[in-house]
Structure 1
Amino acid sequence: MVDPVSTRVIIADDHPIVRAGARGIISADVSVIVVAEAATPEELLDALAREPCDVLVTDLTMPGQQPDGLPMLATVRRKYPAVGIVVFTVSTNARLLQLAIASGVRCVVNKNAAMDELPQAINAAMRGKSYIGQSLQAELGAGQEGKRIKGVSQLSPREIEVLRQIAAHRTVSEIAQQQNRSVATISHQKISGMRKLGLTTDAELHVFLSSSDFML
């Protein structure tokens, strides 16, 4: 029987050796239990529907009938918003990783990283915090764009939603009315999000949001 205080984890990867290695690392912590494994997007969604889960550890690319990658992450976030997600990948493609982060994934770890990174990422995901593995920080950390990519991982869900609405050309007043919140609250979240992204003016914000290199 699962201890009610245990962190319940599902591992999704199409390589059995990777799943076994991740399970071994995760199981070293007695407060974490692997409740299911999946090798395809279909198996992943079946496992999430069947097993209560706190954190999903998943690769981005898995063969199957359902879409993998970013669409798969979007489906998981839509259907299971309370589940923390750790992307566990060999990819160092900055574009792909930044889009994963922009989609709301807060924890990303390279499969070739030190063994302690995966448990740290799971712990962060469980608490709703951000964790980007050390080697991926180096990949994403070059220059101002890298700082902004890291800044996206620090955005709150409310800040992300406000910036998405601004990207859709809605005003602060329109967003406040739509979300039934005060103009002051929306304005504060906009400014807070800009600060985390290293943006200081509305012009910089709109260039950033409309950039083909980065989309929220």
Structure 2
Amino acid sequence: MDVRVVLADDEPVIRAGVRAILAADRGIEVVGEAADGRAAVELVRRHRPAVALLDIRMPGLDGLGAADEIRRVAPGTAVLIMTTFDEDAYVTRALHGGASGFLLKTGDPRELILGVRAAADGGAYLSPPVAQRVLKQLGGQRRQIAAQQRIEVLSDREREVLALVGAGMSNAEIARTLHVVEGTVKAYVSAILNRLGVKNRVQAAILAHEAGLVTR
């Protein structure tokens, strides 16, 4: 099945470049393009794509604002934020706003395909420079203690699943690792998100790192 994508960027040249990169993967189809956040939200509402790939800076409603709207009108659509800006404030707001990933336009073009594929599969993707910044921010004993206290509500099996989510595994990969069916993993992940009060897998993965569950 094709991964359907809505692409939004106010620069036609950038849209053309991103579209060309995604076209290299025959399993990815761009079903709509927009030059601003409001139009992107409407395209998502109409097409219900697996992934919305949004520039962070656009006229009117920016990418972060569009991500908030998309989460309300189409919660089944994963949002990836792409930008040339990697300031901590953008990264923090994007991730805590429920985005499934953060991509730098200046990064390896293959990251676009990897990010779209990961998000469509229910996972998350951060450009390596962004991941390094995020992980660096996870340090600190107080943060770790707080995270460990939060995950005390989880069963041993749920913590095991959370650790694998934190390692970046998809539901299918977790199922193979634990020798269970994928539907069981989906149920565990849903229960984990509810128990921890987090919005998506990205936030759960961050919490897994903070709590020291991820060892690789």
What TM-score, normalized to structure 2? Answer: 0.66
| Deviation of 1:47 (Å) | 1.2
- Residue 195 and residue 133 in structure 1: after superposition, are their counterparts in 2 closer, same or farther (change >3 A)? closer
Give the equivalent residue in structure 1 for 2:51.
Answer: 55
Tell which deviates more after alignment, 133-142 or 109-118: 133-142
1:33 aligns with 2:29: yes
Give the partner amino acid of 1:42: R
Cα distance in 1 for residues equivalent to 2:71 and 2:206 = 24
Show structure 2 runs of 5+ residues with no match.
145-162, 169-188, 199-203
Show structure 1 runs of 5+ residues with no match.
166-191, 201-216
Q: Which deviations, in whole Å up to 9, do the C-alpha atoms of 1:3-28 show, x marking residues without a partner?
A: xx111111001111111110010001
The two structures, once aligned, show a CA RMSD in angstroms of 3.0
Give the equivalent residue in structure 2 for 1:179.
Answer: none
- Residue 61 and residue 22 in structure 1: after superposition, are their counterparts in 2 closer, same or farther (change >3 A)? same
Secondary structure of the equivalent of 1:29?
coil
Q: Which deviations, in whole Å up to 9, do the C-alpha atoms of 1:169-204 show, x marking residues without a partner?
A: xxxxxxxxxxxxxxxxxxxxxxx889615249xxxx
Give the equivalent residue in structure 2 for 1:112.
Answer: 106
The answer (yes or no) to whether the contact 1:60–1:88 under 8 Å persists in 2 is yes
1:134 aligns with 2:131: no
Alignment length (residue pairs)? 165
> After superposition, where does 1:1-216 map in structure 2 within 5 Å?
5-64=1-60, 67-145=61-139, 154=166, 159=192, 162-164=195-197, 196-199=208-211
| Deviation of 1:157 (Å) | 6.3
Secondary structure of the equivalent of 2:138?
helix
Give the partner amino acid of 2:23: S
Cα distance in 1 for residues equivalent to 2:196 and 2:139 = 17
- Residue 199 and residue 13 in structure 1: after superposition, are their counterparts in 2 closer, same or farther (change >3 A)? same
Cα distance in 2 for residues equivalent to 1:109 and 1:28 = 18
Give the share of equivalent positions with the same residue, in percent.
25
Cα distance in 2 for residues equivalent to 1:55 and 1:24 = 17
Cα distance in 1 for residues equivalent to 2:6 and 2:42 = 11
The answer (yes or no) to whether the contact 2:3–2:27 under 8 Å persists in 1 is yes
The answer (yes or no) to whether the contact 2:56–2:63 under 8 Å persists in 1 is yes
| Deviation of 1:99 (Å) | 2.0
Cα distance in 1 for residues equivalent to 2:210 and 2:127 = 21
Larger helix proportion of the pair = 2
